[in-house]
Structure 1
C-alpha cells in the first residue's frame, strides 16, 4: 500500500472515504471501524447519490415518477440521523423531526450540494460512508466524484459463497434480491440466485474504478482484513495518509463508540444493517473464506459457483 497523492486535490478539498461493496460484505463493521479514526467521521448510509435533488430524496420518486425502492422510507433514516446528530447534537424523535424540516428547506438543492454542506460541517474531519444501493447505476457513483473529485474509494470484497449465504439469511435479504432481479430463469422454474448480485455488483464497481487513477482506490478482501487487524489497520491508515498511532488504531477497534452504532429513535431507527446496530462490537478472530468450489446450499442441484463468478473471485484474490 502507498500513500494517496492526487495532483488536483488541494489541502482544503473534501476527501471523504467511500466503501464500495455488495450488501453483506462486512460493510457496516468496516465502515464503522474506519469512521472511528480521530481524523475521520463515519456516518450511516446516506443514500444521497441515488438522487439528483433533495426533493427527489424526500419523495423517493425519480424524475420519471417511479419509486426508487420499496424500502425508501427506511433508506432515508441514515441521512436523518446524521443531520439530527450534526445540527442538534443528539438523535431523538424531536431532532429527527428537525432533520425533516432541514431537508424540506433544501428541496431545491442538489444531492451534491447537500453532501458538500455535510463535509463542511464535519471539517477538518473527513466523512466515511457506504451506501450499497449507490452501486446500481454508474450515474450514482459519478455523482460522488462530482461532489468530491478527490474522494478515496475502498473496494471491499467478501467471498461469494459466504456473502450469498449471508444475503439469504439476512432480514429482508430475499426482498433485496427480488428488487434487483437476482433471479436465475434458466431452469424449469425461476429461482433466487444471489451470486448474480455478487457478480454484477463487482462488475459495476470495477467499471467505475477503471475510470480513476490507481492512487485513488484500493481493493480489500474482507476476510483477510478482519483476520489480521494488527497489520491491516495501520496499513490502511498509511494508505489514507492519516495517523497510524496506537491511540488512533485503538479507536478504530471500537466501532460501538460511534453515535450511529445503535438503533435510532422511533422515527429513524435504522440507517445501517439492523444486525450490526443491535450488536456493533468488533469480535476479533479468523474470518473463514470457503472454497470457491463449495456446493451451494441454496441450490437444489447443489452446484458450485458459476464459472464467471469463480473467475472474477479469483481475479479479486480468492
Structure 2
C-alpha cells in the first residue's frame, strides 16, 4: 500500500493524472491487472478509483473500465447541474408574476442612480460620452488642472470634437493663472469648444445632450448621482445657462473689479463669505483657490480694514459698507 506521505506529496487536480498514473493505468487496461507495488509512484490511481483490489489475489489490482470511471466522476457533476436547473426553474416561477406586471408598461429609465467608487463613476461618464450625439456642458470648479488631468481631457475632447459634438465648459477665474489650462484652452478652441470663467461656481456638473447629468453626492468625489429625470436635467441645464451668460471667455481678459480702498474684488468676495460664516477651507473651495492663498487675501483684507482679530474683522466688514457696493 502507498504510504500517507506519498498522497500528501503527490497532489492532483480532479481532472488530471500524472505521467506515471497515465502510464500505469494504460498498462493495467492492456494486461487486465497490475501489481500493487508498481502503482506506489501514482497514488492518484486509487484516489480517483481507477483501480480496485483483485478479489483473487491481494497483491494485484484490477483496472476500472474508463467508461465506468468517467460515469462515476460525472455523476455528482450532473446531479449538481440538475439541481441548478431546478433552482433556475423555481426562481423563474417566483419572478414570473412580476415580469407580467412590468410587461404591461413601457420600460422606464432610473431617474436617479447612485454611483459609488471612482471606477464606476468614470465608467458611467465614459458611457455617456460614447452615447452623446450633439452637446456636452460641464462645470469644473477649482483652480488649474494637473498635467495628467489636462492630457486626459485633451484626448477626450479631441475625440468628441471629431464627432461634431459641441462642448461648453465653465472654470473659475483662478484657472487663468494656470499655464497648462490656458494652453489646453488654446488647443481646444480650434474645435467646437468654448471655455469661460466665473469667480464663483456651483459644484461639479456634467450634462450630455440634456438627457443625462452627473453631480457629486459627497465632497470626497467617491459618490456621484447619475440623473435622467427630464425635469432635473432641464433644471440643471438652465442653471448652467445662467452661469454661462455671466461668465467671461477664458482667452479674454477677465473683468476684475478695480480695488476700492485697497480692497480687491476677490477680497470683497471673500469678505462676503466670511460674513456668511464660512471657514477658510470652504471659502477657498468655493473660489477655486488653495487655502494658503485664501488666508493671504484674508490677511490683506484685515490689514486694509485695520482689524486686529478674526472676530473684529466680521464687524469691520459689515461696518465698512464694502459689500453694499456694486462690483
TM-score over 0.5 for the alignment?
no
Higher relative contact order (CA 8 A, sep 6+): 1
Q: Which has the larger radius of gyration?
A: 2
Q: Normalising TM by the smaller chain, what interval?
A: under 0.3
TM-score (norm 2): 0.27
